Structure 1
C-alpha cells in the first residue's frame, strides 16, 4: 500500500521529544549567602569526567508481549511541508519524529520509506528530543494526529524495539494514558513507534507560557499552576514505580503537555515520554536497556550516578532527584546549574557536587531565582527550600520517601486553597 504524503497545515500539534534530548541552559545564579560552600569550587578549574552514565544490567526472564500497530485496520500518512518534503518535528541520537494523519488502508502494502537521514550513523552525543505514547487492550480511539518515531539509523532499531517493549508493558494498564504518552504499537514494517501527537513539552510550555510573562504575572501564574503540575508529576512517578519502572531520564523535555483547544488558559495535562533509557526491575519481565549511552541529561542526573569510583544504578531515588530538578526548572525557568553553563567542565563539577539549591542562588541571576522561590513559598504556605532539600541531598540515605514528599506538598497547598 502506498502511503501518500499530506501537507502540514496550520496545526499546533507537536509530538514528544525524540530520543534522547539535549539539555537546555539558561542564565542563573546569585550572590545569596546560601551558596557560600560553592564559592571555592566554582572558582576552581574543573576536571569533570565526560564519561556517560553507566548502563543498567539487562533483565533476563519472560519476554514482554510486543504491541504491534495494526496497519491493516488503520493506516497513517506522513505529513509534508509546502515543498512536498517529509521534515521531522524532532530529531535525536536514535530517532526522527514525524507528524502523521490517520488514513484508510490501501490495497497495496508498502510502508513509508525512511528519510535519507535514517542511513546515517547516530551522533556521539544527544542533540534534541521528541517522543509520544500509550496502548490499550483494544484498538484505542484514533487521535487527530500521530507522532511517528522512526529509527534514525539501522543501529537505532534495537533501541526503539526495546522502548516498544517498555511502552507495551506500561500500556496494558487501563489508566496508563493518565501517566505516560499514548502508544498505538510498533510498526513492524519499519520499527517506528506510533504515538499520539501532543501539544509540546513541559520545557516548551515553561519557556513560552511562563518565561515570557513579566515577573509579577509569572509569579501569579506559577502559584496557580505549580501544585497541580507538581502533584501530577509526582503521582505519575509513583505510578511508574508501582509498575517496577525506573524512567532514568526525567526532565522537562521528556514531559509532554496537552490542553483542549477550547481551554488554552488552563493548566496543561502532562504525561511522561521517552522510555529509551527506562529499566524494568520486575523479575518476570525481560527488557534490555539497548542504549549504549546510558541514561540521562547532566543537569537532571543524580550525582550518585556520576561517581567515577562507584557509580550507582538508576533507581527510584535517582528518578526522584531528576523530578525535583525538573520542578526547580519550572519555578525558576532555568536549570539550577545555568550560572556555570559557559564552562561545561565546571558545570559538571557543580552537578557532581550535589548542591543544586546553592547553585541556583549563585551569581547575579541567582537573586531573581531566590526571589522566585521565596515568592512561591509564601503563596503556597510551604518553605520550598526546605521541601526540596529533603530530596536534593547528596546522601541517598537521607532523602525522604516520594510519598512523604508528596504529602507535605498536598497538605500545605490544601490549607491555602491552592488545589482545585
Structure 2
C-alpha cells in the first residue's frame, strides 16, 4: 500500500449482549366489560367468592366546560348491575354483575309493577334546576361518583344610594354564606342514567313523607341535564367515624364500651332503628345498608344524627308485601348480606335472592356491630374467600369475639343484648324492625341505670 492510497475508515466494533433478538410486542386479549357479560341462570352459577374493589375511571372533563360529576356503568337488557365497586370478583365468580363503593355490596332493582303502584305509572323525580359548580370528589363506586358542589348564586348588587368606601366596596360575586353546599351524585357511564333516575324517583317518593328529613340525607332534586342526583352535603360517614374511634388507646375503663362510646352508640342505634322503621313503613326495602351508607350530620348540640343514603339498591313494595316480581340482588355484600341471601346466591339454590325487610334488619345489625368494634366482624379473615365463608355462617358475634375488640361485644352485655334479635341467623326467627325498636329501648334504659361506664 503506497502513501497515496486513500485510507478506508473502519467502523469501531461494538459488542452486543448475548441475548435473544427482541420480540415484537404481543397484544394481550382484552377483557370484556363486566356489564357486557350475560347473567347465567341460577342453576349454572359457580361457587361464591368474596369481593374486592373495582377502581373507577377518572372523569374526563373538557377544559372549557365546568366540572360536572361523571357517569356510571351500564345495565344492558337481561344483565345484572350493581352500584358498588367493591364486589367485582365476587360478582364475576357467581355471574351476577358487579357492585358499589368501599366493601362489598348487593343490588336489587325496583320492579316496574311495584314502583308504579307506589309512585304512579307516570311518576317523575323532583327536578333540580339551579346551577352549581363541582369541587373535589367525595367518593366513587361502579355506578357513580359523588362530588362536593357549590350552588351558584347571582352576584350581589351594590346599593346605589350609599357612598362607596374602600372597605365596603361592592363585591363582584356572592358571599360565601349565600352559597349552598351540595353533594352531587353523577353517573359514571351512560348506562347508569336509568339507575340514578330510578333512585331519584324513590327519593322523591320517600321525601314526600313528613319524617323523611329526620332519617334521610336531604334530597334537593334530579338534574336531568347531567342525569345527576343533588343532595345535601354530609361528608362524615359512620364507617370513617367508627374506624377513627377504634384507634383511641385501649384502656380498662372503656374496654367494655363500643369504640364510639356507650352513650353515642346507644343514640346511633336508636336513631338508625327508628329510621329503618320509617323506611319499612313506607314500603321501602333499602337493600344496601352498611356503615359507608350511613352519614353523620353534626347538630348544634354537639351530637351526631345518622342519616341513610344511597338508595340505588332499593325497591318499593306495596303495604307489607315483599313483591314477587322484584329483581334478585345483583352483587353480594360479604360483611352485610344476610345468610339467606348468600345461600340463595349459591349455584344450586332454587330460592330467589331478593332483598327483604328481614335482610335489611340483619344488615343494620352488622352495621351497628361495626360501630361497636370499629371494624368488620370478619376482619380476622386472611383471604377473601374465608371472609365469605364466615359471612355465610350467619354468626357475626362469634367472629367479632375472636378479634382485638372482643371485650366490647361480650355475651350478656348491652351491645349483645341490643343486637341479638336482629342478628338471628334464620330470617323467620329474626326480630322485625318494630320489635327491635321496642326491645332496644329497654336495653338502653337499663344501660343508663347501670351506668354507661360499666357497659351494661
TM over 0.5: yes
Q: Could you tell me how far apart the structure 1 residues matched to 2:110 and 2:296 are?
A: 31
**Kindly tell me: are residues 268 and 22 of structure 1, through their superposed partners in 2, closer, same or farther at Cα, counting changes over 3 Å?**
farther
Q: Could you tell me how far apart the structure 2 residues matched to 1:144 and 1:151 are?
A: 22
**Residue equivalent to 2:395:** 355
How far did 1:157 drift? 0.8
- Mapping for residues 304-315 of structure 1, pairs under 5 Å: 304-307=340-343, 308=346, 309=349, 310-315=351-356
- Mapping for residues 220-299 of structure 1, pairs under 5 Å: 221-260=260-299, 266-282=302-318, 294=330, 297-299=333-335
SS in 2 for 1:352: helix
Asked if structure 2 preserves the Cα contact closer than 8 Å seen for 1:185 and 1:193, the reply is: yes
Q: Could you tell me how far apart the structure 2 residues matched to 1:413 and 1:273 are?
A: 26
How far did 1:50 drift? 4.0
Gaps (5+ residues) in structure 1?
Answer: 7-17, 24-47, 80-86, 107-141
**Residue equivalent to 1:88:** 137
How far did 1:104 drift? 2.9
Measured on the aligned residues, the alpha-carbon RMSD in Å equals: 3.4
Select the structure with the greater relative contact order (CA < 8 A; seq sep ≥ 6): 1
Task: Give a deviation string over 1:207-243, Cα, whole Å, max 9, x none.
Answer: 22x1121223573851121111000000000000000
- Mapping for residues 292-331 of structure 1, pairs under 5 Å: 294=330, 297-307=333-343, 308=346, 309=349, 310-331=351-372
**Residue equivalent to 1:417:** 448
**Kindly tell me: are residues 279 and 414 of structure 1, through their superposed partners in 2, closer, same or farther at Cα, counting changes over 3 Å?**
same
- Mapping for residues 13-412 of structure 1, pairs under 5 Å: 19-20=83-84, 22=86, 50-52=94-96, 55-56=108-109, 58-60=111-113, 61=116, 62-63=120-121, 65-71=123-129, 74-79=130-135, 87-104=136-153, 144-208=180-244, 210-216=245-251, 219=257, 221-260=260-299, 266-282=302-318, 294=330, 297-307=333-343, 308=346, 309=349, 310-340=351-381, 342-362=382-402, 366=403, 368-374=404-410, 378=413, 382=414, 384-412=415-443
TM-score, length-normalised on structure 2?
0.64
**Kindly tell me: are residues 394 and 277 of structure 1, through their superposed partners in 2, closer, same or farther at Cα, counting changes over 3 Å?**
same
Asked if structure 1 preserves the Cα contact closer than 8 Å seen for 2:372 and 2:408, the reply is: yes
Q: Could you tell me how far apart the structure 2 residues matched to 1:241 and 1:157 are?
A: 26
Gaps (5+ residues) in structure 2?
Answer: 1-63, 69-81, 97-105, 156-177
Moved over 6 A (4+): 289-293
Asked if structure 2 preserves the Cα contact closer than 8 Å seen for 1:64 and 1:168, the reply is: no
TM-score, length-normalised on structure 1?
0.69
SS in 2 for 1:338: coil
Q: Could you tell me how far apart the structure 2 residues matched to 1:355 and 1:292 are?
A: 24
**Kindly tell me: are residues 202 and 22 of structure 1, through their superposed partners in 2, closer, same or farther at Cα, counting changes over 3 Å?**
farther
SS in 2 for 1:235: helix
Q: Which structure has the bigger radius of gyration?
A: 2
How far did 1:355 drift? 1.4
Q: Could you tell me how far apart the structure 1 residues matched to 2:329 and 2:418 are?
A: 32
**Residue equivalent to 2:4:** none
Task: Give a deviation string over 1:178-208, Cα, whole Å, max 9, x none.
Answer: 1111111110111111111113111011122
SS in 1 for 2:335: helix
Q: Could you tell me how far apart the structure 2 residues matched to 1:175 and 1:306 are?
A: 33
Asked if structure 2 preserves the Cα contact closer than 8 Å seen for 1:179 and 1:236, the reply is: yes
Aligned residues: 324
Asked if structure 2 preserves the Cα contact closer than 8 Å seen for 1:54 and 1:313, the reply is: no
How far did 1:293 drift? 6.6
Asked if structure 2 preserves the Cα contact closer than 8 Å seen for 1:77 and 1:101, the reply is: yes
**Kindly tell me: are residues 386 and 269 of structure 1, through their superposed partners in 2, closer, same or farther at Cα, counting changes over 3 Å?**
closer
Asked if structure 2 preserves the Cα contact closer than 8 Å seen for 1:56 and 1:314, the reply is: no
How far did 1:327 drift? 0.6
How far did 1:63 drift? 2.7
Q: Could you tell me how far apart the structure 2 residues matched to 1:49 and 1:350 are?
A: 17
